[in-house]
């Protein structure tokens, strides 16, 4: 029996299996004071990963935070950004006006090429035609914004210290476009779902 061949085969199989394991990342709560929570990101071995200083700061009591498929959505001042952990790619999406009542966590499309947010602006300043604005972004592979669409609609939201809509419950991508739930507290068709057809 050729032991050298067998050893080479085993070594090749081991390397192949190591390379096929993808790192899964999760947000982990580190500390909490009242309603303020501090997070860190851990890998599949429950080890905290090293992050740039501005992202560590963004994980401390964040008004917006999401980790989907290794891509962190976070707020840097009033700018919404994405950070892809595997290649440390940091990308800017857009900057919010000051004085907004809140912003939702994102809803992603199934193929992860689109991302959507709801901004709450109850006073309808800055040209808002309704008290909520849906912002839908189409992204390149490098997380650059390919196109941006805005829709002012009466999306459902709740308020505490900040206001927010629930992604995948109050708004989400569908095969037809964007589905959103009308606000529960309005007179016209409260709680009903509407669809916005997206143009290519």
- Each residue of 143-165: pLDDT tens digit? 999 999 999 999 999 998 899 99
Flag whether 69 is in a domain: yes
Q: What residues are paired with 33 via a beta bridge?
A: 36
Tell me, yes or no, whether 112 and 188 share the same domain. yes
Per residue in 122-139, pLDDT tens? 999 999 999 999 999 999
Flag whether 14 is in a domain: no
Nearest to 103 by CA among 93, 91, 114: 93
Domain boundary among 64, 95, 126: 95
Flag whether 15 is in a domain: no
Question: Can you give the pLDDT at residue 8?
Answer: 39
Q: Which helix (H) or strand (E) holds 33?
A: strand 26-33
Q: What domain range includes position 83?
A: 25-95
Tell me, yes or no, whether 114 and 159 share the same domain. yes
Tell me, yes or no, whether 128 and 64 share the same domain. no
Number of domains in the chain: 2
The mean of the pLDDT values for the chain is 89
Nearest to 156 by CA among 191, 117, 189: 191
Average pLDDT over residues 191-198: 96
Tell me, yes or no, whether 108 and 79 share the same domain. no
Tell me, yes or no, whether 194 and 107 share the same domain. yes
Flag whether 144 is in a domain: yes
CB within 8 A of 159, min separation 6: which ones?
Answer: 101, 102, 120
Tell me, yes or no, whether 87 and 164 share the same domain. no
Tell me, yes or no, whether 200 and 104 share the same domain. yes
pTM equals 0.86
Flag whether 17 is in a domain: no
Q: What residues are paired with 21 via a beta bridge?
A: none
Tell me, yes or no, whether 60 and 75 share the same domain. yes
Domain boundary among 70, 95, 120: 95
Average pLDDT over residues 159-172: 96
Q: What percent of the chain has pLDDT over 90?
A: 83
Flag whether 20 is in a domain: no
CA distances from 122 to 100, 106, 130, 156, 163 (A): 8, 20, 8, 12, 9
Flag whether 173 is in a domain: yes
Domain boundary among 65, 95, 125: 95
DSSP 95: E
Question: Can you give the pLDDT at residue 33?
Answer: 84
Q: How far is 133 from 118, CA to CA, in rounded Å?
A: 5
First to last CA, the chain: 61
Tell me, yes or no, whether 121 and 82 share the same domain. no
Tell me, yes or no, whether 80 and 131 share the same domain. no
Per residue in 7-50, pLDDT tens? 333 333 433 334 334 469 999 999 888 788 999 999 999 999 99
Altogether, the residues listed in the chain come to a count of: 200
Tell me, yes or no, whether 118 and 195 share the same domain. yes
Tell me, yes or no, whether 110 and 198 share the same domain. yes
């Amino acid at each position: 029996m050729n032991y050298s061949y067998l050893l080479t085969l085993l070594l090749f199989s081991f390397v192949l299996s190591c390379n096929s394991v993808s790192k899964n990342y999760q947000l982990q709560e580190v500390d909490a004071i009242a309603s303020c929570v501090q997070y860190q990101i851990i890998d599949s071995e429950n080890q905290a990963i090293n992050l740039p200083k501005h992202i560590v700061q963004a994980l401390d009591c964040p008004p917006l935070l999401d980790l989907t498929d290794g891509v962190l959505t976070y707020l840097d001042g009033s700018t919404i950004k994405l950070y892809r952990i595997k290649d440390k790619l940091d990308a800017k999406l857009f900057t919010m006006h000051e004085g907004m009542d809140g912003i939702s966590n994102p809803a992603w499309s199934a193929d992860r090429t689109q991302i959507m947010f709801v901004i709450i602006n109850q006073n309808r300043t800055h040209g808002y035609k309704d008290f909520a604005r849906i912002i839908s972004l189409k992204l390149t592979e490098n997380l650059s914004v390919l196109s941006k669409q805005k829709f002012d609609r009466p999306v459902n939201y709740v308020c505490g210290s900040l206001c927010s809509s629930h992604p995948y419950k109050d708004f989400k991508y569908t095969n037809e476009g964007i589905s959103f739930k009308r606000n529960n507290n309005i007179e016209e068709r409260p709680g009903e779902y509407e669809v916005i057809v997206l143009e290519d």
